[in-house]
Amino acid sequence: MEYFRRIFALTQLLVLAAALVVVPLCAQQIIYHPKNSDSLEVKWAWAWREVASRKLPDGFWIGYGIQRWMGEHSLIGSFRDDSGYRDVSLHELLYGQRESLTVSGGEESLRREAEKALERRSGRNYVEPKVLKGVAILFGYGAGGDEPMQPRKVVVCNLSTSVDLQDHPLLWPGHSQDDESVVFLENMFDQPHTEKLGENLVFAISLHDSSECALKFLREILVGGEGEKVRGSAAFFLGERDRKEDVPLLAKVATHDLSREVRDQALFGLSRMGSDAAIEALIDLAKRAERKDVREKAIFWIRQKASDRAVDTLRDIAYSDDETGVQRQAVFALSRLKNGDAVMVLIEIAKSHKNPQIRREAIFWLGRSDDPRAFDFLVQMVRRK
Q: Where are the chain's structural domains?
A: 23-101+111-119+126-176, 190-305, 308-385
Closest CA to 175 of 63, 99, 100, 91: 63
Radius of gyration (C-alpha) of the chain in whole angstroms: 28
Averaged pLDDT of the chain: 83
pLDDT in tens, 122-135: 555 556 778 899 99
Q: Residue 30: exposed, middle, or buried by beta-carbon count in 10 A (0-12, 13-18, 19+)? A: middle
CATH fold, domain 190-305, is Leucine-rich Repeat Variant (1.25.10)
Picking from 229-238, 255-264, 312-321, which range would have the lowest pLDDT averaged per residue? 312-321
Confidence band for 16, pLDDT divided at 50, 70 and 90 = very low
CB 89 within 8 A of CB 65: no
Of 20-24, 50-54, 304-308, 370-374, least confident by mean pLDDT is 20-24
Contact present, 358 and 328 (Cβ < 8 Å) = yes
| pTM exceeds cut of 0.85 | no
> Beta strands 130-141 and 60-71: pairing type?
antiparallel
Residue 235 predicted with pLDDT over 80: yes
Q: Among 71-85, 137-151, 192-206, 365-379, whose mean pLDDT is lowest? A: 71-85
Q: Are 29 and 51 in contact (CB under 8 A)?
A: no
Task: Judge whether 225 and 258 are in contact, CB under 8 Å.
Answer: no
Q: Model confidence over 97-125: pLDDT tens digits?
A: 766 654 445 566 556 656 666 665 555 55
Whole-angstrom distance, CA of residue 261 vs CA of residue 294: 11
Provide the angle, in degrees to the nearest 10, between the axes of the packed helices 212-222 and 195-206: 150
Q: Rounded to an integer, what distance in angstroms lies between the CA atom of residue 150 and that of residue 48?
A: 12
Which residues pair with residue 135 across a beta bridge?
66, 158
pLDDT of residue 270: 96
Instruction: Tell me what pLDDT residue 22 has.
Output: 35
Please give the torsion angle defined by the CA atoms of residues 218, 220, 224 and 229, in that order, rounded to the nearest 10 degrees. 0
Range 156-167 average pLDDT? 87
C-alpha to C-alpha distance for 277 and 251, rounded to whole angstroms: 10
Give dist(CA 45, CA 236) in Å, integer.
33
Alpha-carbon distance of 250 to 270, in angstroms, equals: 7
Residue 177 has a pLDDT of 94
The answer, yes or no, to whether residue 381 has pLDDT greater than 90, is: no
Q: Tell me the one-letter amino acid at 300.
A: F
